[in-house]
Amino acid sequence: MSALAIRELSSADFESFSKLVLEIYSENPKATKFSSEPTMEELKALLEKKVALLKRKKIVDYVAVENGKVIGECDIYIGEKSTIGLIVAKGARRKGIGKALLEKSLERAKELGSRSVIAEVHEGNKQALDFFRSNGFVDVGKENDVLLLERAL
């Protein structure tokens, strides 16, 4: 079994980060913020924005890397009520990777001043709802078909 590393996202992750986002988009487009399949230019702009926000401590963004390949990512946009995004490659799920990313990200978000974190999950995404609920998030509202779950830090 290969070693799993959890570390901050970097510009060098572009290729495998892009593949992960495209995999998630093809599986469930609503799990991403893209309205259509993202282009390489859009993915590059996204990565550059995230790296810039990391430098200014406006975002927490950790990736799970195995054999040099990004297989999961967790980002938290910092604010009093921060928002979280978490994706894990299909073949890497149910192995504790999401939980490891979540815990490391929440710890860092708290260090940067976040008091709580909100997850926005489409109500049809049972796996994500179960994951967040089993990791201390509670339902706090609904906007259209998106459930809002929150965890205090």
pTM of this prediction exceeds 0.85: yes
4-114 is classed CATH 3.40.50.2000:
no
Q: For the CA atoms of 91, 93, 97, 99, what is the dihedral angle to 10 degrees?
A: 170
Domain residue ranges of the chain, discontinuous segments joined by +: 4-114
Per-residue pLDDT tens digits for 104-125: 999 999 999 999 999 999 988 9
Per-residue pLDDT tens digits for 58-89: 999 999 999 999 999 999 999 878 999 999 99
Spatial neighbors of 108 by CB under 8 A, at least 6 apart, are 60, 62, 76
